[in-house]
């Protein structure tokens, strides 16, 4: 099974917002990502709309032909948007409004009641739900009790330790993948995945359904262009699927 690549287009919106105009055109970027091989488009609207705007999400919905994934903290504004737009997948992230980027997974035990309501609301509306998580056994099993379909493993610690000792860095994630499978949860992953560390991650985690990648992919685009970059990431995933 080959892991699907969902491109997080937040950073293209950051670039657009820097000048207040419409360059680069985010809708064209999203469609080109798909044309060049992306199997999903991810957006993470934040309350201050500093990159993706709520209006972008509404405009993207009819254009995205692959999988549309909205991620974010499920406050009332985000959930109103999600229920209006009905993406294919909602990824729940516990980031505070002022966070630069997501920096932790959910404590599904502590926030069980809150999350259960959100998950059930999304699922009543036909939206698949994924919960952003650290490799913690009790919390992963609790995510299954929430009724979530998948978890997304927060891979920042893997990426940070990859160059020091990749075998050690991957260990908790291999374990987490086993717990997720045991709990009946599908598996996504994301954060700081890159051309350097992606292939090893995907080859060590056989049941990885999807990765969502933004920052490194956008940086690579500066050197290689969007089409080459997307193809390079996809080649890493194909090579990994042949190894596992």
Residues engaged in binding ligand PXP (CB under 6 A): 8, 10, 44, 71, 91, 93, 101-102, 132, 152, 190-193, 212-216
- Active-site residue flag, 111: no
- Active-site residue flag, 51: no
Helix and strand element counts for the chain (H, E): 11, 8
Q: What are phi and psi of 131, to 5 degrees?
A: -115, 125
**Least separation, in Å, of the C-beta of 157 and ligand PXP?**
13
211 by DSSP, 3-state: which? strand
- H or E stretch covering 128: strand 128-133
- Active-site residue flag, 227: no
**Least separation, in Å, of the C-beta of 101 and ligand PXP?**
5
Catalytic site residue from 34, 51, 67, 71: 71
**Least separation, in Å, of the C-beta of 62 and ligand PXP?**
23
Q: Which residues are paired to 130 by β-bridges?
A: 91, 150
Give yes or no for a contact between 186 and 206, defined as CB atoms under 8 angstroms apart: no
Looking at the Cβ atoms of 18 and 242, the one nearer to ligand PXP is: 18
Looking at the Cβ atoms of 62 and 135, the one nearer to ligand PXP is: 135
Catalytic site residue from 134, 152, 156, 191: 191
Question: Strands 40-43 and 4-8: what pairing?
Answer: parallel
Active site members: 44, 71, 191
């Amino acid at each position: 099974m080959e892991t699907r690549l969902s491109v997080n287009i937040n950073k293209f919106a950051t670039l657009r917002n820097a000048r207040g105009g419409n360059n680069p055109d985010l809708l064209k970027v999203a469609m080109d990502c798909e044309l060049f091989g992306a199997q999903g488009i991810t957006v993470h609207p934040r309350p201050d709309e500093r990159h993706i705007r709520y209006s972008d999400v509404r405009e993207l919905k009819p254009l995205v032909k692959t999988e549309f994934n909205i991620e974010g903290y499920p406050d009332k504004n985000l959930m109103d948007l999600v229920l209006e737009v009905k993406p294919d997948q909602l990824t729940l992230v516990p980031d505070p409004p002022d966070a630069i980027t997501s920096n932790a997974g959910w404590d599904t035990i502590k926030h069980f009641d809150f999350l259960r309501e959100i998950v059930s609301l999304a699922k009543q509306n036909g939206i698949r739900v994924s919960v952003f998580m650290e490799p913690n056994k009790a919390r992963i099993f609790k995510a299954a009790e929430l009724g979530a379909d998948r978890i997304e493993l927060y891979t920042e610690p893997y990426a940070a330790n990859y160059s020091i000792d990749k075998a050690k860095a991957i260990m908790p994630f291999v374990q987490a993948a086993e717990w997720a499978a045991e709990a009946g949860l599908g598996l996504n992953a994301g954060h700081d995945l890159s051309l350097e560390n992606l292939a090893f991650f995907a080859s060590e985690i056989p049941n990885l359904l999807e990765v969502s990648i933004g920052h490194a992919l956008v940086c690579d685009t500066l050197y290689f262009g969007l089409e080459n970059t997307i193809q390079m990431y996809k080649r890493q995933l194909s090579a990994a699927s042949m190894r596992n």
